Amino acid sequence: MDEENLRARSVQRTRWMECAQRGDREAYGALLTDVASPLLRFLRRWIADPHELEDVHQDTLMALHRARHTYDPSRPFEPWLFAIARHVAVDHLRRRASRTSREVLVEALPEPGTDADPGNPRLEEALDRLPPAQREAFEMLQLEGISVAAAAARVGITTGALKVRAHRAYKALRALLGG
């Protein structure tokens, strides 16, 4: 796309946004549809995983929606748009890094204790009090004895997320069983 087309498109986006700020739904819809693909292309430079990319893309559109009152039509639209997109992407990567570091902490799952006997009435009672996702993680790993990878695949989450659920379940059970 040549320089002139890019400029014309930018002017069009500015007009759409100006109308959207006044409550024009049609203009807003046109703007969001128009920027969706360039945003996705921009975010793809930061995030490779398609599921994560979709999440961040949607977060960016939500952030754009929340910040639309800050756009000044006398200034170019794209720096405003991509500053928001960069912020959402960096925020996502930062949170992912922090989550990953927490997952490392639970890399080694604790050994089941003597209380982890399926027939133990105290354990059953304690398991009933756990949130369903944590209970499921505990049951798969400690009672059924399947691997972390297989358990994660069964419930459709990452192994890291499964370990976090299991770790929380152990902590809760330890507290409930007074261990």
Partner 1 sequence: MADTTTPVPTASTRALIKRLEDEAAPVRRLWAPLARLGLWLIFVALVGGAVGVSGVRPDLGERLRDPVYLLEITALALASMVMATRALQEAVPGYDVRWPARGLALGLVSLTVVLWFRQPMHGQVTVTQFIATGVGCAARTVLLASLPWCALLIGVRLGAPLAPARAGALAGGAAFLMAALLMRLVCPLHERLHLLVWHGLPVAGGTALSAVIGLVWLRRWRARPPP
Is residue 81 within the footprint of partner 1 (CB under 8 A)? Answer: yes
**Under rule CB under 8 A, residue 154 binds partner 1:** no
Site string for partner 1, 85-114 (x = CB under 8 A): --x---------------------------
Here the tokens at position 88 are 């959402």
- Of the two residues 82 and 161, which places its CB atom closer to partner 1 in the complex? 82
| Helix, strand counts (H, E) of the chain | 8, 0
Indicate which single residue of 40, 133, 153, 176 sits in contact with partner 1 (rule: CB under 8 A): 40
Q: Is 65 in the site for partner 1 (CB under 8 A)?
A: yes
**Sign of the CA dihedral running 8, 12, 15, 17:** negative
In one-letter notation, the amino acid at residue 11 is V
Find the part of the chain contacting partner 1 (CB under 8 A) among 19-27, 125-133, 136-144, 158-166. 19-27
- Give 6-73 as a DSSP string: HHHHHHHHHHHHHHHHTT-HHHHHHHHHHHHHHHHHHHHTT---HHHHHHHHHHHHHHHHHTGGG--T
What's the min distance (Å) between Cβ of 49 and partner 1? 14
Q: Which of 2, 3, 5, 69 binds partner 1 (CB under 8 A)?
A: 69
